[in-house]
Amino acid sequence: MSAPTKRLAVWVDGAALPDAEAHAFWDRFSAWMDAHRGDLAGFAKSEGFASVTPSIKGDVPVLLVSKSEAQKAYASAKATPGRRKS
């Protein structure tokens, strides 16, 4: 039996990144946030984006990334409706 796959997602302007890219993005996001607590705007800028917002879709943690939407202040992730996959 294999270990369960960690479910993480990244959506850039509404388009989902492939799983491997999403996991790499999350790794960079986590490292940045460990070193620069709460600095979402700094991370977005370092990746070439205008904003990044943590969210939850169904039961999956999601980073909502935008090339044009302004960065909002850091807040706890809010659950939003989403498709649950079994």
pLDDT confidence of 34, banded at 50, 70, 90?
very high
Q: What is the pLDDT of residues 36-71, one digit of tens each?
A: 998 999 999 999 999 999 999 988 999 999 999 999
User: Amino acid identity, residue 8?
Assistant: L
Band (3; pLDDT cuts 50, 70, 90): very low
The pTM for the full model equals: 0.79
Whether the predicted pLDDT of 20 surpasses 50 = yes
What's the CA gap between 44 and 52, in Å, rounded? 6
Domain boundaries, the chain: 9-69
The pLDDT score that the predictor gives to residue 73 is 79
